[in-house]
Structure 1
Amino acid sequence: MPDLSLDLQPEIPADNPAIDRLHERAFGPGRFARTAFRLREGVQPFIDLCFTARVGTLLVGSIRLSPVVIGSDVEAILLGPITIDPAFQSRGIGAALMKRSLDVAKAKGHRLVVLVGDAPYYNRFGFKMVPPGRLSLPGPVDPARLLVAELVEGAFDGVQGSLRGARAG
């Protein structure tokens, strides 16, 4: 495949049908049972932190970040889903979306990002495994896949508790 001319843009409401189709192709119907999906259920994402990737007019990638609260009052972001069309994977699209949304989140004063994913991939973006027992989610999660990144140094110091969805403010 030739070099891709990638266009990253903020997500807009008109993107929703294409993003839904992308999620269906990438994750299938089982996505609704995942613990991370349950955290996002009924929670509006931070629209200013959500981006799409296009090649020409074709939407080939999407990243969403949603508000969560840890314990009684620690505000954080839940990253995901990040979805790349299977035909366009391994071309740097996911990395470009990650970098853009994390940079914007940091610039807007967000401090902490949590996700469920593969540490070997996400380590390069500053994510580390959450120490056992620090966080709990409303369903099963492989502890090796529960990751956190500090957008502000020390933001995770002393943080512990249950994660729950929150309202974007």
Structure 2
Amino acid sequence: MAAVLDSVRAFFAPSTFTIDLENAGDVVARENLLDRAMGAGRTKKSSEKLRRGRVPAEGLALVARDRSGHVIGTVRLWNIEAGVDRETHPVDALLLGPLAVDPAHEGKGIGSALMRAAIMEAKKLGHGAILLVGDASYYERFGFFAEKARHLVMPGPFERRRFLALELKDGWLEGAVGLLVASGRQLTRPPVRRAA
């Protein structure tokens, strides 16, 4: 991970922000940032159905920090099954989202740096494809296209033209068809202590 993050830092102005792995201390800052950047309706999206009650894919929850260490950007990837292949085997993939940058820091390349770091790390970890729901005009620059997701569907309402995929391994989604299903680790809650 360090090599990937170092190469992203070298490409983007490292004196302005850094990309780092998310840690437990970032939870409140991340959630507040998402509320500011995406609004209250963000938890009602179809993508949220795949994330609810799950933890992000191992090593694929990243944050951007300003010089003071405050979280100013976030991206997370989640383990999913992207339908089944021709032999009805589940197709392992990742779902990206949400990607968000604090509105006060937009236009500084933070979103692009987070995307590039997430894609490079997912590829390094051996994943075959990433799917997302977002604006094609933004995500096509990273290699995401609707054509690659044409035979797949989200669990709930979604706009087909905004459902995009990137193959990290050539042909990974070829023949994949069906519904996206969450497959990542479930969120475990700490045991509740009861008064004696």
Alignment TM-score, normalising by the size of structure 1: 0.93
Aligned pair 1:80/2:89, yes or no? no
After the TM superposition, which residues 38-53 of structure 1 pair with which residues of structure 2 at under 5 Å, given as runs?
Answer: 38-53=49-64
Alpha-carbon spacing, 1:70–1:132, altered in 2? closer, same or farther (3 Å): closer
2:166 pairs with 1:166: no
Distance 2:150 2:21 in 1: 35
Q: 1:17 aligns with which of 24, 28, 34?
A: 28
1:103-118 aligned within 5 A: 103-118=120-135
Residue 139 of structure 1 is matched in structure 2 by 156
Q: Please give the alpha-carbon distance, in whole angstroms, between the structure 1 residues aligned to 2:183 and 2:109.
A: 31
- 1:37 pairs, out of 45, 48, 56, with 48
Q: Which residue of 2 aligns with 1:99?
A: 116
1:26 aligns with 2:34: no
Q: Which residue of 1 aligns with 2:82?
A: 70
The residue type paired with residue 145 of structure 1 is: R
Give the 3-state SS of the residue equivalent to 1:48 in structure 2.
coil
Residues 70 and 160, structure 1, Cα contact 8 Å, conserved in 2? yes
Is 2:71 aligned against 1:59? Answer: yes
Gaps of 5+ in 1: none
User: Would the aligned equivalents of 2:149 and 2:164 in 1 still touch at CA under 8 Å?
Assistant: no
Query: How many residue pairs end up in the alignment?
Result: 167
Letter in 2 for 1:110: H
Of 120-129 and 130-139, the range deviating more from structure 2? 130-139
TM (normalized to structure 2)? 0.81
- Give the drift of 1:71: 2.1
- Whether contact under 8 Å (2:148, 2:166) holds in the other structure is no
Contact kept in structure 1, 2:148 and 2:165, CA below 8 Å: no
Once residues 165 and 142 of structure 1 are traced to their aligned partners in structure 2, the CA distance between those partners, rounded to angstroms, is: 19
**Match for 1:122 among 139, 144, 151?**
139
RMSD: 1.7
Greater shift, 15-24 or 38-47, is seen at 38-47
Letter in 1 for 2:75: I
**Whole-angstrom CA distance in 2 between matches of 1:168 and 1:153:** 26
Aligned to 1:163, the other structure's residue is in SS state strand
The structure with the larger Rg is 2
**Among the aligned pairs, what percent are the same residue?**
37
